[in-house]
Amino acid sequence: MNMLHRLRIATLAAAMLFAAALPVRAQTATADDTAKFLAGMMPSADSPLMPLTRDPSWQRHAKFFDAAFAQLEQRQLSRIRAWSETNLAAPRPTMFYMFSGPDFLYADAFYSKATTYVLSALEPPGSVPDLSRLPRGGVGAALYNVERSLGSILSFSFFITKQMKVDLRAGQLNGTLPILYVFLARSGKTIRNVSPVAIDDKGTAYFANENPGPNATRGVRIVFAGSDGVERTLYYFSTDLSNPGVKSSGFLKFCSTLAPGNSLIKSASYLLHSGNFTTVRDFLLANSATIIQDDSGIPLAYYSAKKWRFFPFGRYAGPIAEFTGRYQ
């Protein structure tokens, strides 16, 4: 064996030894498996979250959510879908949901045929850590926090803002993202990609590590698919929708690139009745093909009879005691 041949064998052996010494990277749970786990649904069989489904706290959580979402489906969501199928003949690709919080559940129920959802509220998007690496006992605490955050919407169909501010800031699961995950999973969606998104003051969107400037409106973009396999996009932005807030941000400029759309206004605390939210009110009236709202949305006097047709449903009982001055 000549010297060159021996050198090649030695080099190969060294390379093989070097490769064998590399650490094996632990598998990270996908966003879709994380969403299913948080929603009390089984992740994929090879997910690192599978062992955690044997935890009694997760099994209790799964039973609780199974019962709660079954009741919600029967009591409200199935009826909303049937109503929308009958009354929304030509839905637009985009739907706007101002003052939404993380309420994808009702956005999807009313506008299931949309391909782009734009949700916005004050609450930060937050983050979801790798649940397989939580400290011992941390899973049960995290799941309980998710249940607390969803308590009001599961019972009353809306988030109570004061409670949500506390619940969405507690623990390692924080912000709106964990709740968006739960609603996507429980709505039968498959999450394909999750990434941060920011908008500069001109309405230009930035992704990944691009720099949008100091006064950016920040949020999250979730790409997902339903049972039909059609790829859809959900944007959630943390932003101030008051007149000074939208004046200093590019949020409505970004929305205008997706307009016209359909809009949903629900449990908006009558903010659009006040003089401090005229800009977003005017935007919705100018950029919506249809608007579904309860009486906490835009006052009827602002709908021009030349442009809008009004279809009332149900029985108007007036506002709750906290908002007696908003009766129409």
Q: Per residue of the chain (328 residues), give pLDDT as tens.
A: 544 444 444 443 344 444 444 444 457 899 999 999 999 999 999 999 999 999 999 999 999 999 989 999 998 999 999 999 999 877 799 999 999 999 999 999 999 999 999 999 999 998 888 888 887 778 888 888 888 878 766 655 554 445 444 444 555 677 899 999 999 999 999 999 999 999 999 999 998 777 888 789 999 999 999 999 999 999 999 999 999 999 999 999 999 999 999 999 998 889 999 999 999 999 999 999 999 999 999 999 999 999 999 999 999 988 888 888 898 8
Domain boundaries, position 174? 28-188+252-309
- Residue 127, strand partner residues: 174
**Residue 317 domain-assigned (yes or no):** no
66 with 40: CB under 8 angstroms? yes
Structurally, the chain folds into a number of domains equal to 1
Structural domain contains residue 218: no
101 with 176: CB under 8 angstroms? yes
Instruction: Give dist(CA 41, CA 18) in Å, integer.
Output: 41
Return d(Cα 199, Cα 131) in angstroms, integer: 29
Question: Per the domain annotation, does 84 fall within a domain?
Answer: yes
State the distance between the two ends of the chain, measured CA to CA, in whole angstroms.
Answer: 98
- Whether 326 is in a domain gets the answer no
Task: Return the pLDDT at 89.
Answer: 76
- C-beta of residue 300 within 8 angstroms of C-beta of residue 327: no
Residue 270 lies in a domain: yes
Residue 258: inside a domain: yes
| Three-class SS state of 64 | helix
Q: Rounded to whole angstroms, how far apart are CA atoms 188 and 32?
A: 11
Spatial distance between the Cα atoms of 314 and 294, rounded to a whole number of angstroms: 10
- With respect to residue 241, please indicate whether it lies within any of the assigned structural domains: no
Q: Which SS3 state, helix, strand or coil, does residue 3 take?
A: helix
In a domain, 242, yes or no: no
Structure confidence at residue 235 (pLDDT): 98
DSSP category for residue 219: E
Q: How far is CA 212 from the centre of its chain?
A: 22
Question: Would you put residue 133 in left (φ > 0), alpha (ψ -120 to 50) or beta?
Answer: alpha
* Residue listed under structure tokens 């009694």: 56
- At residue 99, the 3 state secondary structure works out as coil
| Coil vs helix vs strand at 35 | helix
- Per the DSSP assignment, residues forming a β-bridge with 199 are 205, 217
